Structure 1
Amino acid sequence: MSDTHAQTVAYVRETMLEQKEPPITETGAIKWLRENLFSGATNIILTVVSIFVIVWGLGHILPWFLNSIWDAGSLTECREIRNELYGSDASSACFAVISARWHQLLFGFYPQELYWRPVLAFVLLLSALAPVLFNNLPRKLLTWSMLAPFVLYFLLWGGTIWGPLMVLAGFVLGSVAFRFGEQVNAIIAVLAAILVPVLFWLFLAGPIAGALSELLPIGITKVESKDMGGFMLATIIGVSGITLSLPLGIVLALGRQSDMFLINKMSVAFIETIRGVPLIVWLFTASLLLNYFLPRGTNFDLMLRVIIMVTLFASAYIAEVVRGGLAALPKGQYEAADALGLDYWKSMRLIVLPQALKISIPGIVNTFIGLFKDTTLVVFIGLLDPIGLSNTIRATTEWNGIYWELFVFIGLMFFIFCFSMGRYSLFLEKKLQRGHR
């Protein structure tokens, strides 16, 4: 060090100071509280009011839960147990109604000795969805995903095995017709893939299934749709509507974007008509009016009619969500597909749709969640969903007067389903982010 610098600096430290802990107000929980709850006058007031509301709510709700009774045969017995244990003025939930009637809330009036069938069907449903939702599983499992709907139908409804097999045969014939039609023209291939299975199901499937049933009566106990209810009914309608509405919605979105006049106007008319009428009106249409347009003596199952209407209703909303994804895609993506020499279908399948669907994931999942919750509307046309069964349970002499306990259980079950869909949506969005490994 120079003499001049040594004369102007009073003290020069030759060793480093030891590292010290940061102030307690700048780390940990105290820092978080200061930054998030007490950062200003407005935030402090809102925090204090929120704490008061939370404490007040928990003070009323927690005793109701903590004093709950799970083993009783009726509401009257529940109250007697409460009076004996906690006093007549105590707040107590009578969850004994869930213990006594859980099977109805889950399965409706499905025969108890056959509960193994819907339970097995639910497990098989999860196994069929797994390879579709998670691409790290072997792709060979997708074959099971395509066959699962026919197996699940056979398990739930029972009867002869030849009915589901004839429906499957129609799809096989449609696939064969599409392959032959491709050699002529793409439009002819699509028309053949639609007309061949429809004609087979209308005129040949029934007689063939009947003849095979008489020749080889293979099947299990048949269960009518009117015996199904509860969350099993909500799951059947919800999963069917979600599965069928997504591809139909994509087709409608492409049709609305099409330059072909008839396809464009038909898609627009369908979407606007369906979206312009409440779902409950379409459900009443399926329940009451549809039979007037069917041939005399036709027995068209009510649950199937509801699934069709729910699918059409959801597909109109999915179409608009997907159309938003297509509109958000830069024009350069379409030009890039043209520059590669791809035809319309290849450009959509390989370049445009994957990106548009990624953009549309939040809207699509939001529509699916709304669709699953809207299955409760079927109570108005005579199907016993969880809400309808809760009314039936409360109408009995044993549980007349029970209220919140049933709806807490129903709300919890719907939350589990809808929260799971929301979390999968977040997982998928994160996985599809650019640069994600």
Structure 2
Amino acid sequence: MEEQVSRFVAGSYLQPLPPPAAEGGWTGRIRKSFFATPLDAVLSLLSALLIGYIAVGLYQWGIANAVFTGENRSACLGDSVGACWAFIGARFQQFIFGLYPVEERWRVVLVFALLVVLLVPLAIPRAPFKRLNASLMFFVFPLVTIVLLTGGRFAMTGSSIALAFALAAAVTLFLCVGISSRAGSYGLTKVAVGLTVFGLLAAFAAPYLNFDRFSVLTFRFDTLSFVALLASLLAITLSFVTALATLEEKSGALRLVYPTLAALFFVATLTTDFGLAPVPTNLWGGLLVTLVVALTGIALSFPLGILLALGRQSSMPAVRLLSVVFIEFWRGVPLITVLFMATFMLPLLLPSGVSLNQLLRVLVGVSLFAAAYMAEVIRGGLQAIPKGQYEGADAMALTYWQKMRMIILPQALTLVIPGIVNTFIGLFKDTSLVSIIGLADLLGAVRRGFNDPAWITPTTPATGLVFAAFSFWIFCFGMSRYSIFMERRLSRGHKR
């Protein structure tokens, strides 16, 4: 028996044989991928011929026969002339800045530079000072952008100031309830809620009602807006007192001061004269308008979409009904209709003497429209969270907002990263619709260039549209790749 077994025991280690020539190396991979069967071989050859034909045509049109320099249309005329890149070079600044004054374009360049400086470290996961970077990006940068692009020195009405502090009171109350589990049952909290609601309603109603007007410092108030301001300040004070009374660590109440400081910074920044020349928004255009509309829509629709998604799953019938009505209304209306309504119908609903800038109306409409779609994407992530996560959070005696902020939302948002980025990409491409209502975004600026008598040629439209398409593709491809990077970093795509 032992003799028979010993015959099958190798006396020396044999090196593994190389794979067959038909299976290994790059030739083997190509054979498996493209020539595994006769049908695959035929399809691969036809596809290669088609791709080669298109590539040769694009090369001849875009490079070999293209015109890169020239001062007018005469350089791009001819039977064999390809792309007229001289047209892009001649009008490149209009495609970026629109009709923004030449001597003031340094302000736009500075805004673009600040955006890159703040956004790149925020997008790198291991970059330090994330909290400071986020604060500068989402709170300071928007105000700096408004002042630089418009020139600042806004004449804010009393109702606008009252609304700013009413929103600060609402955020302060939200933070108070979120950081203290006993704040919801505290008596002063209910008073603060009533004052906050009154402040918001009074600030919105003040422009429609005629009350006596008077001056406070350099601002013009009416009676109702001034009362709304006082109610909001009192609500902020009560929220701070509630936090001090219910928190064991009193230092945690200091964060409640941030919304009020933000409101003060907002009012002070927009009303201060920085010596910049005013530039009306009807002179903005090109990539500037595209980025303003897209980034504003993204920044506002994301938090609003989270609130709407939470509201749609709320146990309170009124909140759930309002969220459902909002989402279904905005999802059922085309974006172009929203833009027309914001441009032509919204001014009819405003009180006399109150007007909103056309670009501002578009920003509001686009943000609300995108928020409805964002809410449904986030709701899908919330529904994918196991019930045990909610039960575990309840067992830890967390408040509703603590549970959502620390346990539920991080998991839900991680699950729907592709859907969120897909919504952002769709919003970025939809900015081209604003050209229909008279705003010259990147695509609109390119199309307006077609009517320039100095550059009317047969190849000018195709060249301009290719340039616009490539510009949009760069931004959309960047967002797509960053989405893939975040998915891989969070390892959601590899977990089952």
Matched, 1:407 2:465: yes
CA deviations 1:163-187 (Å, max 9, x no partner) are 69x9899757744565468455767
Give the C-alpha shift of residue 189 in structure 1: 5.7
Picking from 315, 321, 325, the partner of 1:265 is 321
Picking from 424, 437, 445, the partner of 1:368 is 424
The one-letter code of the counterpart of 1:54 is I
Cα distance change on mapping 1:18 and 1:76 into 2, 3 Å: same
| Alignment map for 1:170-319 (pairs within 5 Å) | 174-175=167-168, 178-179=171-172, 182=176, 184=187, 196=199, 217-319=273-375
Secondary structure of the structure 2 residue equivalent to 1:306: helix
Matched, 1:425 2:483: yes
Higher mean alpha-carbon deviation, 277-286 vs 109-118, is at: 109-118
Cα distance change on mapping 1:259 and 1:16 into 2, 3 Å: closer
1:98 maps to what in 2?
88
Secondary structure of the structure 1 residue equivalent to 2:370: helix
Cα distance change on mapping 1:155 and 1:209 into 2, 3 Å: farther
Q: TM-score, normalised by structure 2?
A: 0.76
CA contact (8 A) 1:163 1:209 kept: no
Report the number of matched residues: 422
2:394 maps to what in 1?
338
Higher mean alpha-carbon deviation, 363-372 vs 138-147, is at: 138-147
Cα distance change on mapping 1:39 and 1:115 into 2, 3 Å: same
The one-letter code of the counterpart of 2:147 is F
Matched, 1:30 2:22: no
Cα distance change on mapping 1:190 and 1:22 into 2, 3 Å: farther
**Aligned-partner Cα distance in 2 for 1:107–1:194:** 42
CA deviations 1:89-120 (Å, max 9, x no partner) are 43421100011000011111001111111111
2:123 maps to what in 1?
133
CA contact (8 A) 1:256 1:267 kept: yes
CA contact (8 A) 1:175 1:193 kept: no
Cα distance change on mapping 1:265 and 1:13 into 2, 3 Å: closer
Secondary structure of the structure 1 residue equivalent to 2:371: helix
Secondary structure of the structure 1 residue equivalent to 2:91: helix
The one-letter code of the counterpart of 1:151 is V
CA contact (8 A) 2:414 2:492 kept: no
The one-letter code of the counterpart of 1:73 is E
The one-letter code of the counterpart of 1:311 is S
**Aligned-partner Cα distance in 2 for 1:407–1:58:** 18
Cα distance change on mapping 1:336 and 1:186 into 2, 3 Å: farther
1:416 maps to what in 2?
474
2:145 maps to what in 1?
152
CA contact (8 A) 2:311 2:319 kept: yes
Cα distance change on mapping 1:299 and 1:409 into 2, 3 Å: same
Cα distance change on mapping 1:53 and 1:194 into 2, 3 Å: farther
Aligned-residue RMSD, C-alpha: 3.3
The one-letter code of the counterpart of 1:32 is R
CA contact (8 A) 1:128 1:144 kept: yes
CA contact (8 A) 1:287 1:381 kept: yes
CA contact (8 A) 2:312 2:320 kept: yes
Picking from 65, 73, 95, the partner of 2:71 is 73
Cα distance change on mapping 1:250 and 1:179 into 2, 3 Å: closer
1:85 maps to what in 2?
none
Cα distance change on mapping 1:188 and 1:131 into 2, 3 Å: farther
Matched, 1:395 2:451: yes
**Aligned-partner Cα distance in 2 for 1:384–1:19:** 67
2:227 maps to what in 1?
none
CA contact (8 A) 2:96 2:285 kept: yes
CA contact (8 A) 1:179 1:189 kept: no
**Aligned-partner Cα distance in 2 for 1:150–1:122:** 14
**Aligned-partner Cα distance in 1 for 2:194–2:433:** 35
**Aligned-partner Cα distance in 1 for 2:493–2:448:** 53
Cα distance change on mapping 1:4 and 1:22 into 2, 3 Å: closer
Picking from 14, 38, 42, the partner of 1:41 is 38
Cα distance change on mapping 1:282 and 1:119 into 2, 3 Å: same
**Aligned-partner Cα distance in 2 for 1:93–1:200:** 56
Higher mean alpha-carbon deviation, 385-394 vs 93-102, is at: 385-394
Q: TM-score, normalised by structure 1?
A: 0.86
Cα distance change on mapping 1:130 and 1:62 into 2, 3 Å: closer
Gaps of 5+ in 2: 177-182, 208-212, 221-267
CA deviations 1:276-306 (Å, max 9, x no partner) are 0100000000011111101123221000000
Higher mean alpha-carbon deviation, 56-65 vs 124-133, is at: 124-133
CA contact (8 A) 1:110 1:223 kept: yes
Identity %: 38
CA contact (8 A) 1:159 1:223 kept: no
Secondary structure of the structure 1 residue equivalent to 2:455: coil
CA deviations 1:305-361 (Å, max 9, x no partner) are 000000000000000011111111111111111111112111111111111111111
**Aligned-partner Cα distance in 2 for 1:21–1:286:** 70
CA deviations 1:120-151 (Å, max 9, x no partner) are 10121233334543443212223312211101
Cα distance change on mapping 1:290 and 1:209 into 2, 3 Å: farther
| Alignment map for 1:84-95 (pairs within 5 Å) | 89-95=79-85
